[in-house]
Amino acid sequence: MKFNQLNLKKELQEGLEMMGFNNTTPIQEKTIPLILEGKDIIACAQTGTGKTAAFVLPILSLLSEQKKNNSVKAIIITPTRELAKQIDMQIEGFSYYTNSSSYPIYGGGTGPEFENQKQALVKGTDIIICTPGRLLAHLKFDYFDTNAINYLILDEADRMLDMGFYDDIIKIVNKLPKKRQTLLFSATMSNAIRKLAKSILFQPKEINLAISKPARGIKQSAYLAYDKQKVKLIRELLLQKKHEKQLEHVLIFASSIKSVKEIKRTLNKSGFRASEIHSGLDQNSREETLRNFKNKKIKVLVATDILSRGIDIKGIELVINYEVPFDAEDYIHRIGRTARADKTGEAITFINENQVKNFMNIEKLIEKDIKKIPLPNGFEKGPIYKFIKKVKKRKFWKKNK
C-alpha cells in the first residue's frame, strides 16, 4: 500500500514524500488505519519492520487536528534512553511540515537536564518520549498535569517487562486519564504481555505479523568453537571480510563486559577500528560511540545486549554472536540489527560445547536448520553438534539381609 492511500494529513504526507517514504510495511498498513479510527491496539511484529512509524505517523496526524496549547498530549514509553532519543529524532523528521513538538525524557543526566525535562512537561511539548523510571520521577511532583493526555504508546513492551518495569508502567497508567487511546507494540506475545494489555487497553484490536522469525534477507550461519578459539576466530573472519572488501559495518554481541573488552583489544591490535558499548560506560560515551558507528568512523562495534533491541542503525552488514543467547527470542533481536528495511545482511553465531541445546532451540523456534561452517585452516577441531544429556551418577546400595 502507498502512504498516500492512507488518511494522513496533507502536511504529514508532504514530509513523507520529501523523505522518500512511498510504500508502507505490513505493520504500518494494518495499524495506521486502526489508530486513525481511535482504536486501542496490541501489535506484534519482528524487529526492523517499521513499528516506530506505524504509531508515530497516525499520532502526528491526529495531533494536527487538535488546537495547540500548553499541554502534553501523547506519551511514548520505551525501555532505554537510546531508543527514546532515536524515536525523538524520527518524530522530528516526520513532523517537519507540522507544528507538533516532542522531547525525550530519560535518566542518567545532570541537574540542568532534569530541569529542561521539567520545562518540557510544564510548557506542554506535544509528545514526550520517556523511560519509565524517569517519568515516574517527574510524576512525583505536582507540576506535570496529565489531564490533557489523549494517547499512550508502549514501545518494546516485552523488553520493558523483561527489565522489571511492569509495576512502574501500572503506576504511570494510574496517573493518566482513563479516557485515552492506548497502543502497545511488542516483538513477542508472551502471557505477561497479554496480562499487561488486558490491564490497560480497552477492547483492543490485535495484530500479529511474523512473530519470532528473522528477516528473510539475513544469511545465517554458525561455527562450533570452544571458548578459547572464539577471539581468534573473530579476528580471522574479519580479516577475511576486510580482504574481500566487505567490511564496513559490523556489530558483535557478547554477554559480558569482560568479553567485550577482550574482543575490542584483539581487533584493535589487528588494525581494525573497533569500539565498545555496554552499561559500564556513561551516557555521553555511549552516545558518542553510537554516533561514530553510525557515521562509519568506527567499523566494528562490540556490545552487550544493550543494543539488541530498538536501535536502528542503517547498513549493518554483519552481526556476530560471540556466544549463543540463552533465550531463543534474544537471538531474533540480535540478528535483527542487520537486513533492516528490506536490505540483506549476514549473521554468524559461535556455539561452544555447552550451548548446543540452546542453539537447537533457536532452530526449532525459527523453523530452520542453520548452516554449520567448519573452522578455518589452522584451527583445532571444535565441538560436535550433538546434544548429550548429562545424567547424574547415582549409587545404589543393595541392602544385605
Per-residue pLDDT reduced to its tens digit, 4-22: 889 899 888 888 887 778 8
Among residues 362, 382, 381, the alpha carbon closest in space to that of 370 is found at 362
The pLDDT of 25-42, averaged and rounded, is 94
Q: Is residue 232 part of a domain?
A: yes
The reply to whether 222 and 201 lie within a common domain is: no
**Average pLDDT of every residue of the chain:** 87
- Please check whether residue 137 lies inside any domain of the structure: yes
Asked if the structure places residue 238 within a domain, the reply is: yes
Percent of the chain with pLDDT over 70: 91
pLDDT at 86: 86
Integer CA distances (angstroms), 181 to 39, 48, 58, 150, in order? 7, 24, 12, 6
pLDDT at 115: 92
User: Do both 171 and 261 map to the same domain?
Assistant: no
Domain of residue 241 covers 218-372
Q: What is the pLDDT of residue 396?
A: 40
The pLDDT confidence band at residue 211, using thresholds 50, 70 and 90, is low
User: For 239-271, what is each residue's pLDDT tens digit?
Assistant: 988 877 767 789 999 988 899 999 999 999 998
Top pLDDT among 310 and 233 is at: 233
Mean local confidence (pLDDT), 53-57: 94
Is 315 part of any domain? yes
- Residue 352 pLDDT more than 50? yes
Residue, of 177 and 46, whose pLDDT is higher: 177
- Quote the number of domains for the chain: 2
Boundary residue ending a domain (167, 185, 209)? 209
Last-in-domain residue among 209, 242, 263 = 209
Q: Which of 153, 151, 146, 150 is CA-nearest to residue 78?
A: 153
% the chain with pLDDT above 90? 51
The CATH number of the domain where 229 resides is what?
3.40.50.300
Q: Are residues 354 and 307 in the same domain?
A: yes
Task: Show which of 209, 227, 248 is a domain's final residue.
Answer: 209
| Single pTM value for the model | 0.68
